[in-house]
Structure 1
């Protein structure tokens, strides 16, 4: 994943988190992604799954 693309995801997350918190969010296992971290999905070309998760955040799913 290119740095510019990653920056775009961090920018979207800035609606909910500080930059540092967004970085943590990307690098920690997420309960809505069993056994995976958002950054792993991004690195494997699964940007749509991460975008779907961010959209869930926009609709109030903060788990």
Structure 2
């Protein structure tokens, strides 16, 4: 199993994300996500980085929330992101903003 396939498994199992979710935020078809998961194709390096960042964030959220709650956390407007969704920040290359929220959560300083 490739690293990308493991990331997709984690996103689905721990993050409650569906193949269509992953396809939507990586701007590819669901069939392409299926090929990545099967290991027959690899995503573009930028997309691999996006999947790796999301994998890291989902793994951290898994310590606090169920998969359904993780998905909701990613897709709901977030007060610490000025009402933006965490998934949009991650896709836009601002994963560090989301990671800072998780750091505050770990430090029990979550507001």
After TM superposition, the score normalised by the length of structure 2 is 0.51
Q: 4+ residue stretches of structure 1 with deviation over 4 A?
A: none
Where structure 2 has 5 or more consecutive residues not aligned to the other structure, the ranges are: 1-46
Higher Cα Rg: structure 1 or 2?
A: 2
Q: What secondary structure is seen at the aligned counterpart in 2 of 1:21?
A: helix
Q: CA RMSD in A?
A: 1.6
- Give the aligned length: 63
Greater fraction of residues in helix: 2
After TM superposition, the score normalised by the length of structure 1 is 0.83
Greater Cα shift, 53-62 or 12-21: 53-62
Q: 1:15 aligns with which of 52, 59, 63?
A: 63
The answer to whether the 8 A contact 2:101-2:110 is kept is: no
> Distance in 1 between the 2:59 and 2:109 partners?
18
